[in-house]
Amino acid sequence: MSRVQCNCCGSDQHEERRIEYLYSRGGEYLLVPNTPVEVCLNCGMVYYDATVLKEIERRFFAIHAKSEEPDRYINMPEKSYA
Ligand SMILES: [Zn+2]
């Protein structure tokens, strides 16, 4: 990751963090704990690395094609506000 300036506020203060990323596509979900991201320390904007997102997408399709096993399954209730 080599982002110099925040697209949002122009700050060059950022740090790498690990978050839980929820990938969703077509009503299917993949929760990815420990996803590396960069966070702007000034405005809190979160940046995902393109290669990280690609890998998450690859795993999502691999799991749904049953060629890869997820670590575990969780039940996730969801209710829209609107
Ligand atoms: Zn920022």
Three-state secondary-structure class, residue 59: helix
Q: How far is the CA of 50 from the centre of ligand 1 (A)?
A: 18
Q: Are 39 and 17 in contact (CB under 8 A)?
A: yes
- Give the pair of three-digit tokens for residue 21: 């990323």
What is the whole-number distance in angstroms between the Cα of residue 17 and the centre of ligand 1? Answer: 15
pLDDT band at 77 (very low <50, low <70, confident <90, very high): confident
Per-residue pLDDT of 4-62, as tens digits, reads: 799 999 999 999 999 999 999 998 999 999 999 999 999 999 999 999 999 999 999 99
Q: What is the pTM of this model?
A: 0.77
